[in-house]
Amino acid sequence: MAEVLVLVDHVDGEVKKVTYELLTAARAIGEPSAVVVGAPGTAAKVNQALAGYGAAKVYVAESENAANQLVTPEVDVLAALVGQASPAAVLVAATPKGKEVAGRLAIRTGSGLLVDAVDVAADASVTQSIFGGAFTVKAKAGTGVPVISVRPGGVEAVAAEGAATEQALEVPATDAAKVVTITSREPLKGGDRPELTEASIVVSGGRGVGSAESFEVVEKLADTLGAAVGASRAAVDSGYYPHQFQVGQTGKTVSPQLYIALGISGAIQHRAGMQTSKTIIAVNKDTEAPIFEIADFGVVGDLFKVAPQLTDEVAKRK
């Protein structure tokens, strides 16, 4: 069966959910081989989890440099593997880092690049969301080993048994002057909430929330649902919520099971980051708000009345 390389997305050995989605998508094409790039000891932490989603093989590239350099080790390792293993495709997460890896890898290997896939077919063709989400197209790489970035939440992760046989790899030494080195890491503010791109429920607030203080209404509903908090660009630009929580074309792309939009009009640039959510609920006092065009459930009303009622009702049913 054809081998499909999957770059494991992890933070210090904690596997991100999107990795399981990538392994699931890879199984549509062939046999997934996970590629772990990180500090010594990373593979030992992640191996069992990867086996649970059908990884037949785990290529292990561990070194201190691999943990402290941005992007270059992943590209070097994947490029070497593309040469050695002749895989049917390479899958990476369509995160800021994953997209950077995918672009560089495609150039390095002379391969076609397919970005923002929301589905992958047996012939390594993909369904993509393009032009800020304005179109959904099917596409196939015309040259080389297809490099595919898959949108987090685009494919549902399904467990499957895999042997996860480890195979050690050298991390190629790169000239230190040519790489970007991480000098420190700070966890982002977000408290105990799930990470925005990983969450199965996202509650977002827009300009309609009106102030930074009023975002408490959004946070309370999110916390009752165990959800992440998002924000529109207007809310971010107005200083209501930090930029790292912005959803949309110039923010993060999310595709949760449930997306709740509070006081968000539904501009095309916001939709680009959330319209592939499985179920969308919109609360807006304007019946004509464009968000209602894509909402599965729409509530015309004041978010300051609707959201607290919803919070109380969810809390009662817990």
* Closer to ligand FAD by Cβ: residue 125 or 204: 204
* Closer to ligand FAD by Cβ: residue 97 or 207: 207
Interaction residues for ligand FAD, span 184-213 (CB under 6 A): 206-208
* Closer to ligand FAD by Cβ: residue 155 or 274: 274
| Shortest CB 289 distance to ligand FAD, Å | 4
Phi, psi (degrees; rounded to nearest 5) at 131: 50, 55
* Closer to ligand FAD by Cβ: residue 179 or 268: 268
Interaction residues for ligand FAD, span 249-308 (CB under 6 A): 249-251, 263-265, 267, 269-270, 273, 283-286, 289, 302-304
Order of strands across the sheet with 147-150? Answer: 135-139, 126-130, 113-120, 147-150, 89-93, 3-7, 31-38, 57-62, 165-168
Helices 17-26 and 42-51 cross at an angle (nearest 10°) of 50
Burial 12-28, CB ≥16 within 10 A → b, else e = ebebbbbbbbbbbbbbb
* Closer to ligand FAD by Cβ: residue 98 or 273: 273
Using CB under 6 A as the binding rule, whether residue 88 contacts ligand FAD is answered as no
How many CA within 13 A on the CB side of residue 137? 11
Q: Whose CB is nearest to ligand FAD? A: 248
| Shortest CB 279 distance to ligand FAD, Å | 19
Using CB under 6 A as the binding rule, whether residue 152 contacts ligand FAD is answered as no
CA-nearest of 276, 236, 235 to 253 is 276
CA-nearest of 153, 152, 252, 248 to 207 is 248
| Shortest CB 94 distance to ligand FAD, Å | 15
* Closer to ligand FAD by Cβ: residue 121 or 267: 267
Tell me the three state secondary structure of residue 308.
Answer: helix
Q: Are strands 57-62 and 126-130 parallel, antiparallel or unpaired?
A: unpaired
| Shortest CB 80 distance to ligand FAD, Å | 36
CA distance 186 to 204: 24
Given the rule CB under 6 A, which residues bind ligand FAD?
206-208, 232-235, 246-251, 263-265, 267, 269-270, 273, 283-286, 289, 302-304
